[in-house]
Structure 1
Amino acid sequence: MASPGTIDTRGSDFARLAHRIADAGLLDRRPFYYAIRMTVAAVAYGGGWALFAWVGDSWWQLLVAAVLAVIFTQFGFLAHDLGHRQVFRTRRPSDAAGLILGNLAIGLGWGWWTTKHNKHHANPNHEDHDPDVSPAVIVWSEDQVARSTGLPRFIAKYQAFWFFPLLTLEAWHLHVASVKALFQPTAKRRGLELGALLVHFVLYFGAVFAVLPPVKALLFLVVHQGLFGVYLGCTFAPNHKGMPVLTKEDKLDFLRKQVLTSRNVRGSLFTDVALGQLNYQIEHHLFPNMPAPNLRKAQPIVERYCQEIGVDYLQTGLVESYGQALRHLHQVGAALR
Structure 2
Amino acid sequence: MSTTTGSALPPLQSDYSELVREIRSRGLLQPRPAFYAVLGTLNLAGLALVVAGLFLLRDSWWALLLAPGFAIVSTQIAFFSHDAAHRQIAHRGRTIALLCLVHGNLLNGLSYGWWIAKHNAHHAHPNDLEADPDVAVGAFVFDSDQASARRGAAAWLTRHQAGLFFPMLTLEAFNLRVSSVRSVLRPGLRYRKVESLLLLGHLTLYLTLLLSTLTWIQALVFLVIHQALFGVYLGCSFAPSHKGMPALTPQQAADPLLRQVLSARNIRGGRFVDLALGGLNLQIEHHLFPSMPRPNLRRAQPIIERHCRARGISYSETTLHESYGLALRHLHQVGAPLRGGVSSSR
Scaled to the shorter chain, the TM-score interval is over 0.9
Query: CA separation in 1, counterparts of 2:183 and 2:206?
Result: 21
Aligned counterpart, 2:286: 284
Aligned counterpart, 2:177: 175
Q: Deviations over 1:11-42 (max 9, x none)?
A: x6111111111122111111111111111111
Amino acid aligned to 2:83:
D
Structure with more relative contact order (C-alpha pairs < 8 Å, separation 6 or more): 2
Mapping 1:1-337, distance limit 5 Å: 7-10=10-13, 13-246=15-248, 251-337=253-339
SS for the counterpart of 1:182 is helix
SS for the counterpart of 1:296 is helix
Cα distance change, pair 74–231 in 1 and its aligned pair in 2 (3 A): same
Which deviates further from its counterpart, 239-248 or 255-264?
239-248
Which sections of structure 2, spanning at least 5 residues, go unmatched?
340-346
Cα drift, residue 262 of structure 1? 0.5
Aligned 8 A contact 1:51 1:64 in 2: yes
Cα distance change, pair 24–248 in 1 and its aligned pair in 2 (3 A): closer
Aligned 8 A contact 1:104 1:199 in 2: yes
Q: Deviations over 1:65-86 (max 9, x none)?
A: 1100000000000000001000
Aligned 8 A contact 1:103 1:197 in 2: yes
Query: CA separation in 2, counterparts of 1:80 and 1:234?
Result: 16
Cα distance change, pair 299–250 in 1 and its aligned pair in 2 (3 A): closer
Which sections of structure 1, spanning at least 5 residues, go unmatched?
none
Cα drift, residue 113 of structure 1? 0.5
Query: CA separation in 2, counterparts of 1:196 and 1:289?
Result: 26
Q: Deviations over 1:95-121 (max 9, x none)?
A: 001100010001111111011100100
Amino acid aligned to 1:196:
L
Cα drift, residue 226 of structure 1? 0.1
Cα drift, residue 209 of structure 1? 1.9
Q: Deviations over 1:242-301 (max 9, x none)?
A: 112458796431111101110100102111110011100000000000000000011111
Cα distance change, pair 152–260 in 1 and its aligned pair in 2 (3 A): farther
Aligned 8 A contact 1:170 1:226 in 2: yes
Cα distance change, pair 9–102 in 1 and its aligned pair in 2 (3 A): same
Cα drift, residue 153 of structure 1? 2.0
Query: CA separation in 2, counterparts of 1:290 and 1:203?
Result: 33
Query: CA separation in 1, counterparts of 2:312 and 2:104?
Result: 40
Query: CA separation in 2, counterparts of 1:179 and 1:247?
Result: 37
Cα distance change, pair 266–217 in 1 and its aligned pair in 2 (3 A): same
Amino acid aligned to 2:12:
T
Cα drift, residue 162 of structure 1? 0.4
Query: CA separation in 1, counterparts of 2:57 and 2:248?
Result: 50
Cα drift, residue 149 of structure 1? 3.5
Which deviates further from its counterpart, 293-302 or 211-220?
211-220
How does the TM-score come out when normalised to structure 1?
0.95
Cα distance change, pair 191–251 in 1 and its aligned pair in 2 (3 A): closer
SS for the counterpart of 1:186 is coil
Cα distance change, pair 227–255 in 1 and its aligned pair in 2 (3 A): same
Aligned 8 A contact 2:11 2:312 in 1: no
Query: CA separation in 1, counterparts of 2:309 and 2:109?
Result: 42
Amino acid aligned to 2:231:
G
Amino acid aligned to 2:265:
R
Which deviates further from its counterpart, 144-153 or 125-134?
144-153
Query: CA separation in 1, counterparts of 2:160 and 2:198?
Result: 39
CA RMSD of aligned residues (A): 1.8
Cα drift, residue 182 of structure 1? 0.9
Cα distance change, pair 313–169 in 1 and its aligned pair in 2 (3 A): same
Which deviates further from its counterpart, 88-97 or 246-255?
246-255
SS for the counterpart of 1:60 is helix
Cα drift, residue 55 of structure 1? 1.2
How does the TM-score come out when normalised to structure 2?
0.93
Amino acid aligned to 1:34:
Y
Cα distance change, pair 180–278 in 1 and its aligned pair in 2 (3 A): same
